[in-house]
Structure 1
Amino acid sequence: MTDAAPVRFGLIGVDSSHSVQFTTMLGDGRTGRVAGGTVVAAWKAPTVEDFPPSRDRNDWLAAELEALGMPLLDSPGAVAEASDALLIVASDVRTHPAHLRRLTRFGKPVFVDTRFAPTRREAVEMLEQATGDGCLVLAGSPKRFTPEFRAALGAAGGVERIDLDGPLPEQPHHPFLAWYGVHLVDLAVAAFGPGCETVEATGDRVTATWNDGRVATLRGDAEWTPITRGVIGTAAGEEAFEIEASAEMLAGLLESLISSCRTDTSNVPAAEILATVAIVEAAARSRELGEPVSVTA
């Protein structure tokens, strides 16, 4: 792979809308909306029958990819052999640890889409295996890479708090915040870094407090809407931003993945990956217990 050649990505799982969106946004690697990468192969992965996003979308999203000319190969290994880097876009977070375990031995960069792992323990195991196999792990919600969020964060300086409001729909077998709320959690971690100490999810919002006193609040409705809003607070004032979910929202993420593959550097530090998973896990525990809980470090 040279700087002049597009990074060849392979899809692992196709039951997320990102499978088609990534493919169309990248195009041929040179003339697409995001230049520098192209999707060359995909593995459909078995349908997860007890998970509606997989049960209801796996077949028709696979058909959409085939209509775009995408070869559907018979194994993750076959996709890895045909690719420079892998994109785990399977929608059910429960499948991510097993998918990554099958891919790290190839020593190629692997992106794990948005919902990295069901638990912090599994996330640690995933990262440890990847490190041992010389596999670069990439991650992150596309919302953290949007120009709207990056501009507000860059303009703020000395962030003391972040208030986030976005859709919080849930899905079976995914605890509170683990399906769509993870996007808000990832924005908070992108603003503050690791170090969240406590989470309270007992009322109409989630309050996450960092060990230096900084606070993130997360709220939203159970019905999905395309808009996520936020306010970043500093001693000097506030910076507001608004993100609209669309294919265009993915551009910054794709650019980060291409850059990471070319430079062999992470797009999200491992400590932030673990922090996001740990906060989601703590929020579910807080809601179940009805009290604030400590976040596993």
Structure 2
Amino acid sequence: MASNLNRRKFLQATALTGLGLSLSGRLSASGTLAGKRIGIIGLDTSHSTAFTKLLNAADAAPELMGYKVTAAYPQGSKDIESSVKRIPGYTEEVKKLGVEIVGSIQELLGKVDVVLLETNDGRLHLEQALPVLKAGKRMFIDKPVAASLTDAVAIYEAAKKYQVPIFSASSLRYIKGIEGVNKSEVLGADTFSPAVLEKTHPDLFWYGVHGVETLFTVMGTGCKQVNRIHNDTTDIVVGTWQDGRVGTFRGTRTGKHDYGGTVFTQKGNVVLGPYNGYQPLLLDIVKYFETGAVPVTPEETIEIFAFMEAADESKRRNGATVTLESVMTKARKS
């Protein structure tokens, strides 16, 4: 009788498990619910391991909705030493978190539902993004979205062609203090971040992009022109918006690395900082994976890169005023 009772309990448990799966989705071979499998392209950045640790944790936040990193293609930069040397170590880290390592992007796409394009080298992003878009999979592209304004425009044009919304953002978009800003009341802003240079990328694309994104998060789109002051230790870029508001970005290369700023509003000033970590960005990535709704429009991301390209042109012209329209026109003709 005891054996029959145990058998009945087993069958009841099995039935309940099956019911649960039928309601929530089917399990893939990896044990992750189908539709929730994330693939990573590029293990040459700490973002890859940071995201994987948050997503694959045994006590992962319920807001992450069961999404897990299940496979990764490690190849990132091939010639940026600071990136290349990270790949073996980061590969071992994600393997310990249950991630399968694959040998190509095509192999990855056969095993996952959505993609985190994490390659640190923006020069590879267009090439790596295209097969993902052709496969119709939603994709987050980490900063920089590309290593040129021309490639950034091409990526978003491809997304439009294949009807796949893509999302790109810096975690500095979620810096503390920003949640208290009423953007309709913003009169101007000053932001700052490190702006370490990398010879393979336009100056601000490599690291200054984080502070520039903070600036656009509070100011919004509509920047008309920029002027840039540059020396070995500092960059200051002054942007004038179409409505007359002024926003500035200070990029630093000496002293302690830090992020922050001040937002000037109709009701007083708001101080931004400190940095708020990766979790707020990751929550928005998961919402995007789930719904297809992008938290940041293509227009805003492209304008951020046009701002930085115009800043580079201003540097080449000894601080002269450069319009964003002029660099956009050039990029679209390339």
Cross-structure match for 1:71: 100
Q: Which amino acid aligns with 1:15?
A: D
More RCO (CA 8 Å, sep 6+): 1
Higher alpha-carbon deviation: 133-142 or 187-196: 187-196
Corresponding residue for residue 186 of structure 1: 213
CA offsets per residue over residues 46-104 of structure 1, 9 Å max, x none?
A: 5412x123222122212222233321111112222221210110001111111111211
Structure 1 residues 224 and 111 mapped into 2: Cα distance closer, same or farther (>3 Å)?
Answer: farther
Indicate the larger mover: 284-293 or 219-228. Answer: 219-228
Aligned equivalents of 2:153 and 2:193: distance in 1?
Answer: 28
Post-superposition shift, 1:190?
1.6
Worse-matched range after superposition: 199-208 or 263-272: 199-208
Q: Partners of 2:78 and 2:307 in 1: how far apart?
A: 26
Contact 2:192 2:249 in 1 (8 A): yes
1:220 corresponds to: 251
Counterpart for residue 198 of structure 1: 225
Alignment of 1:248-259 (within 5 A): 249-259=277-287
Runs of 4+ in 1 over 3 A off after TM superposition: 1-6, 223-226
Inter-partner Cα distance in structure 2 for 1:193 and 1:160: 11
Q: Distance in 1 between matches of 2:256 and 2:122?
A: 21
| Pairing 1:74-113 to 2, within 5 Å after superposition | 74-113=103-142
Q: Report the residue type matching 1:118 in the other structure.
A: A
2:71 aligned residue (30, 33, 41): 41
Quick one: distance in 2 between partners of 1:181 and 1:250?
18
1:289 maps to a residue whose letter is: R
What is the CA distance between 1:3 and its match in structure 2? Answer: 7.0
How many residues align structurally? Answer: 290
Matched residue of 1:18: which SS? Answer: helix
Q: Distance in 2 between matches of 1:224 and 1:279?
A: 25
Deviation at 1:220, TM superposition (A): 3.5
Task: Find the counterpart in structure 2 of residue 177 from structure 1.
Answer: 204
1:234 aligns with 2:262: no
* Aligned mates of 2:148, 2:181 — CA distance in 1: 28
Map Cα deviations across residues 226-254 of structure 1 (whole Å, 9 max, x no partner): 5311111012210112123xxx6111111
Kindly state the Cα deviation for residue 157 of structure 1 after the two structures are TM-superposed.
4.5
TM-score scaled to structure 1, two decimals?
0.90
Q: C-alpha separation between the residues in 1 aligned to 2:24 and 2:282?
A: 16
1:13 matched to which residue of 2? 42
* Residue of 302, 309, 312 corresponding to 1:284: 312
Q: For residues 266 and 177 of structure 1, do their structure 2 counterparts lie closer, same or farther at Cα, with a shift above 3 Å needed?
A: same
Aligned counterpart, 2:301:
273
Measured in 1, the distance between the counterparts of 2:162 and 2:204 equals 31
- On the 8 A contact 2:43/2:76 being kept in 1, the answer is no
User: Quick check: 1:143–1:149 contact (8 Å CA) kept in 2?
Assistant: no
- Equivalent position SS for 1:177: helix
Paired residue secondary structure (2:134): helix
Alignment correspondent of 2:179:
151
Q: Which of 1 and 2 has greater Rg? A: 2
**Conserved in 1, the CA contact under 8 Å of 2:148 and 2:202?**
no
Q: Is the 8 A contact 2:55 2:69 kept in 1?
A: yes
**Residues 1:48 and 1:24: Cα distance change in structure 2 (over 3 Å):** same
Structure 1 unmatched ranges of 5 or more = none
Counterpart amino acid of residue 135 in structure 1: V
- Extract unaligned runs of 5+ from structure 2: 1-20, 26-32, 329-334
Quick one: which amino acid aligns to residue 139 of structure 2?
A: V
User: Contact 1:164–1:184 (CA<8 Å) still a contact in 2?
Assistant: yes
1:38 alignment partner AA? K
Sort the Cα spacing of 1:255 and 1:46 in 2 relative to 1 into closer, same or farther, 3 A. closer
Post-superposition offset of 1:124: 1.8
Contact 1:196 1:208 in 2 (8 A): yes
Looking at structure 1, the residues matched to 255 and 139 of structure 2 have their Cα atoms a distance apart, in angstroms, of: 28
What is the CA–CA distance in structure 2 between the aligned matches of 1:161 and 1:114, rounded to whole Å? 24
Q: Aligned to 2:180, what secondary structure does the other structure show?
A: helix
Which is further off, 91-100 or 284-293?
284-293
Cα distance in 2 for partners of 1:225, 1:75 equals 39
Tell me, in whole angstroms, the C-alpha distance in 2 between the residues paired with 1:225 and 1:110. 33
Aligned residues of 2:116 and 2:139 also touching (Cα < 8 A): yes
Opposite residue 197 of structure 2, the aligned amino acid is E
In angstroms, what is the RMSD of aligned CA positions?
2.2
